[in-house]
C-alpha cells in the first residue's frame, strides 16, 4: 500500500511523530506549510481562535500528488479541541482524492475525540486507525502506541 504521511506542526511535536511514523512505515512524508505567521504568543492566540471558528487558511502547494497514494496518514496538533486550520485547508483542497486515511494528533491532554470526529466528518471517510499522543507521551515512552497504530493501518 503506497502511503504518505502529511502533517502540520507549529511547535515541532507533530513533526517529530510524523517523522517517526514515516520512518517505521518506510513511506513518503510531506509537511503542510501554513502561509500565516503563527509564531509566538500572538500566533498561538490567533491559532486557537482560527481553529475554534473552523477557518481555512492558505497553505503552500503540496509537492506530492495525494491521488497517487493508497493511504494518507494525516497529523495535526489539537487547538481548541479541533484540527489546525492548515490541516482543515489541506483536507478541503484534496477532498475526493483520498482513498484511505488514518489520523494522528498531539495534544496537551485532551480534545482528541472531538478533533477526530471533526476530521472524519470533514473528510467524509472513516479512518483505518487513530493515534493520540499527549504531552506526557511525547516526552516518554510511546513505542507501544505507535506499534498499535501502524498495525491498525496495515
CATH of the domain at 38: 3.40.50.360
Instruction: Determine whether 28 is exposed, middle or buried from the number of CB atoms within 10 Å of its CB (0-12, 13-18, 19+).
Output: middle
Domain range for residue 24?
Answer: 3-153
For residues 90 and 151, give the distance between their C-alpha atoms in angstroms, rounded to a whole number: 25
With a cut of 70, list the residues of the chain below it in pLDDT: none
Number of domains making up the chain: 1
pLDDT tens digit sequence for 76-120: 999 888 899 999 999 999 989 999 999 999 988 778 888 999 999
Amino acid at each position: 500500500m503506497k502511503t504518505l504521511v502529511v502533517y502540520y506542526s507549529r511547535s515541532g511535536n507533530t513533526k517529530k511523530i510524523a517523522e517517526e511514523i514515516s520512518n517505521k512505515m518506510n513511506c513518503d512524508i510531506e509537511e503542510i506549510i501554513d502561509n500565516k505567521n503563527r509564531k509566538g504568543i500572538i500566533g498561538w492566540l490567533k491559532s486557537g481562535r482560527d481553529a475554534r471558528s473552523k477557518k481555512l487558511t492558505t497553505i503552500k502547494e503540496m509537492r506530492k500528488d495525494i491521488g497517487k497514494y493508497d493511504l494518507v496518514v494525516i497529523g495535526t496538533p489539537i487547538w481548541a479541541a479541533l484540527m489546525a486550520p492548515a490541516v482543515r485547508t489541506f483536507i478541503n483542497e484534496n477532498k475526493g482524492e483520498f482513498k484511505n486515511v488514518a489520523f494522528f494528533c498531539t495534544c496537551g491532554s485532551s480534545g482528541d475525540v472531538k478533533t477526530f470526529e471533526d476530521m472524519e466528518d470533514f473528510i467524509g471517510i472513516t479512518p483505518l486507525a487513530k493515534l493520540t499522543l499527549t504531552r506526557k507521551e511525547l516526552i516518554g515512552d510511546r513505542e507501544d502506541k505507535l506499534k498499535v497504530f501502524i498495525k491498525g493501518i496495515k
